[in-house]
A and B are shown apart, each in its own frame.
Chain A
Amino acid sequence: MGNKLTRNLYMIPYSLWIVLFVIAPIMLVLYYSFFDIEGNFSLINYQKFFTPVYLKMTLSSFWYAFLITLISLLFAYPTAYLLTKTKHKQLWLLLIIVPSWVNLLLKAYAFIGIFGQYGMANSLLEMIGIGSRQILFTDFSFIFVAVYIFIPFMILPIFNALNELNPSLLDAANDLGASKWTAFRRVIFPLTIDGVKSGCQIVFIPALSLFMLTRLIAGNRVITLGTAIEQHFLVTQDWGMGATIAVFLIIAMFFIMFLTRDRKRGV
């Protein structure tokens, strides 16, 4: 009995946290989304969301988030694989994680310098004979910087999954005559798919609502849902519309969690 009581006691901080900082804010967001700019109860925000402007914005947000996630994955998987083969795994891992401790804004400003007309990137292009070109404020620079920022979060879960992989399984595959590619396709990848999934979740969802980079690196040439939320809360003070976009982002998030959920194996 006493055991149960203490267990319930331990639940208090957790439930308080969840109610105050997860459930209550989501409810507030939902509540605000039903008010128009003059504070009247209405569904106009939802109606407005389904106009071409916001639908286009949603599509482009998803497209960029998808590209960012895909490119991160393409670079992260081999990197993580290589890391598990190195001697000082933890050191290499640390080196990959360290940049994520630096403030995002600082990194963005650094890239403005690097990608600028007279920046390092253009000097390099100049040197190898391609000649300087506009890099800053393009789709390329936006995706590059976003991938740079998110890639540690993709590497980490994949690395953990690969690291836990039992090497004897590979030996077994080898003994049974599997080629390297087959071993990867049939053994390694399926066993690390959970790492890939959580990596994709951690990257895709924040990428969907990136806002600062869209201005600093893409010069507002890329407009994501995050940019629109920021504008509605800070500039127009149209909290209702901002909240409505946030509601759709939350729905998108649940949808992605559902798509990448852990299916129990063997069912």
Chain B
Amino acid sequence: MKKLLQLFIAGIILSAILLYAIQAMNESQGYSGENTLTIYNWGNYIDMDLIKQFEKETGVNVIYETFDSNEAMLTKIQQGGTTYDIAVPSEYMIDKMREEDLLIPLDHRKLPNLNNIDDRFMDLPFDPGNKYSIPYFWGTVGIAFNPELLPNKTFTSWNDLWDPALKNEILLVDGAREVIGMGLNSLGYSLNDTNKQHLQEASQKLETLTPNIKAIVGDENKLLMQNNEAAIAVLWSGDAADIMWENEAIDYVVPKEGSNLWFDNMVIPKTVKNIEAAHQFINFMLDPEIAAQNTEYVAYSTPNKAALSYMDEEMVNDERFYPPPELTEKLEVYKNLGPKMLSYYNDLFLEFKMHPK
């Protein structure tokens, strides 16, 4: 008993010392000081050199944390106890966060660089007047395919996926809106359609695609495509860019019927501690040269019009990632359809997944 007690006390003393050491270390790095900025972003979604540059220019200490899904980010901000000054949710999540009063309105006077953003990407339905959010990167949903594995096949339309020759070749992304949206688009409907008859039609059409589907996966699609395990994947353009970086044979196309246009956006969540630095950071990232450097690192499409002139020409002229106006017109941003409709989409998707091969 005595020995146990001694061990217990030793444990407590050791923990206290460690706690003190952490405190001391944080202080020496200025973390507990006033001037810190906590950024909550997707993994590998910023050029870390830029953070160093920002720290140097402003004297603000940056703490950088990452998340891997909008839902995980939402939960952490909802629960409180975090001090995130900047977060980067996707557009459909902004709607939700706004409804739940989790966002702080932006002060546009503190963001002079805002006029660098392309007008096309301002004032979008998920955030009228950009009251709460500034687009960070944007992209599409499309078809990535490997011509080396599929000689003589070209893809221009969603309906090309229904080709019987593509048996067991296609990877779909595990998202209800993306897959049902693809069904709707292939029939010429809007991917925000709420007409149940259209949705039924789309899901029936999707069921006829089952023989061609290899799997419905998440982030693993990148790995599978890179290693030539699968020939075709329906995915986000950002993921396509990553794959093409690793495996040069792969090509990406946005189908002509139209597709989804998505945005990741910088916001200030209500967990903010340093509003001033948060605005400073957003403005910093909107600077054309900074945005250009960041875009060349991340390789997603930037909404920053002024940045394009600082970027590698080959990248800017790549129509797969900066589609021409005829196509951009057909791209749609997801509207918040409300929980009931979303749940209907998900039920259809679940049924589709369970459809026997």
A60 to B354 CA separation, bound complex (whole angstroms)? 10
Q: Which residues of B contact A117 (CB under 8 A)?
A: 227-229
Asked whether A53 lies within 8 Å of B168 as measured between CB atoms, the reply is no
Contact present for A220 and B217 (CB under 8 Å)? yes
Given A53-B350, A57-B354, residue A220 in contact with residue B215 (CB < 8 A): yes
A221 touches B350 (CB 8 A): no
At the interface, yes or no: B120 with Cβ under 8 Å from chain A? no
Give the docked Cα–Cα distance between A228 and B229 (Å): 27
Answer yes or no: B218 CB below 8 A from chain A CBs.
Answer: yes
- The answer to whether A219 and B215 have CB atoms under 8 Å apart is yes
Asked if B216 and A37 sit within 8 Å, CB to CB, the answer is: no
Contact indicator A137/B215 (Cβ below 8 Å): yes
Q: A56-B354, A137-B214 are in contact. Are A116 and B227 (CB under 8 A)?
A: yes
Q: Are A235 and B71 in contact (CB under 8 A)?
A: yes
Q: Is the CB of B227 within 8 A of A220?
A: no
Task: Please give, as numbers and ranges, the residues of chain B lying within 8 Å of A136 by CB-CB distance.
Answer: 215, 229
Q: How far apart are the CA atoms of A215 and B217 in the complex, in Å?
A: 6
Interface residues on B, range: 20 to 34
Tell me, in angstroms, the Cα distance from A112 to B217 when the chains sit together. 12
Contact with A235, one of B346, B351, B353 (Cβ below 8 angstroms): B346
Contact B168 A134 (CB under 8 A): yes
Interfacial residues of chain A within 163-218, with CB under 8 A of chain B in the complex? 215-216, 218
Contacting pair B174 A220 (CB below 8 A): yes
B107 interface hit (Cβ, 8 Å):
no
Interfacial chain A residues near B22, Cβ < 8 Å: none
In the complex, chain A residues 40-83 whose Cβ is within 8 Å of any chain B Cβ:
53, 56-57, 60
How long is the Cα–Cα vector from A223 to B347 in the complex, in angstroms?
A: 13
Q: Give the CA-CA distance A56 to B354 in the complex, in Å.
A: 9
Decide: A216 near B168, CB < 8 A? Known: A56-B354, A118-B227, A237-B339.
Answer: no
Does A234 have its Cβ within 8 Å of any Cβ on chain B? yes
- Knowing A53-B347, A223-B354 touch, does A236 contact B71 (C-beta < 8 A)? no
Q: B215's closest neighbor in chain A, by CB?
A: A219
Residues in B neighbouring A231, C-beta threshold 8 A: 346, 350
A219 in contact with B339 (CB, 8 Å): no
Interface centre among A53, A134, A236, A237 (most CB of B within 10 A): A236
Say whether B25 faces chain A, with CB atoms less than 8 Å apart: no
Contact of B343 among A112, A137, A215, A236 (CB under 8 A): A236
Q: Are A219 and B216 in contact (CB under 8 A)?
A: yes
Most B CB contacts (10 A, CB to CB) among A53, A220, A228 go to A220
B350:A228 contact, CB within 8 angstroms: yes
B357 at the interface (CB under 8 A from A): yes
Q: In the complex, what residue of chain A is closest to B176 when comparing beta carbons?
A: A235
A236 contacts which chain B residues (CB < 8 A)? 339, 342-343, 346
Q: What residues of chain B have their CB less than 8 Å away from a CB belonging to chain A?
A: 69, 71, 168, 171, 174, 176, 214-218, 220, 223-224, 227-229, 339-340, 342-343, 346-347, 350-351, 353-354, 357
Q: List the 7 closest pairs (A to B, CB-CB), nearest first.
A: A219-B215, A220-B216, A137-B215, A236-B346, A37-B339, A236-B343, A117-B229
| Chain A residues engaging chain B, CB cutoff 8 angstroms | 37-38, 53, 56-57, 60, 112, 116-118, 134, 136-137, 215-216, 218-221, 223, 228, 231-232, 234-238, 241
- Beyond the given A215-B216, A216-B217, could you list 10 further A-B residue pairs with CB under 8 A, ordered by the A residue number? A53-B347, A112-B224, A136-B229, A215-B220, A219-B215, A220-B215, A220-B216, A221-B216, A223-B354, A237-B339
Cross-chain pairs A/B with CB under 8 angstroms, 6 sampled: A53-B347, A53-B351, A117-B227, A118-B227, A219-B171, A219-B214
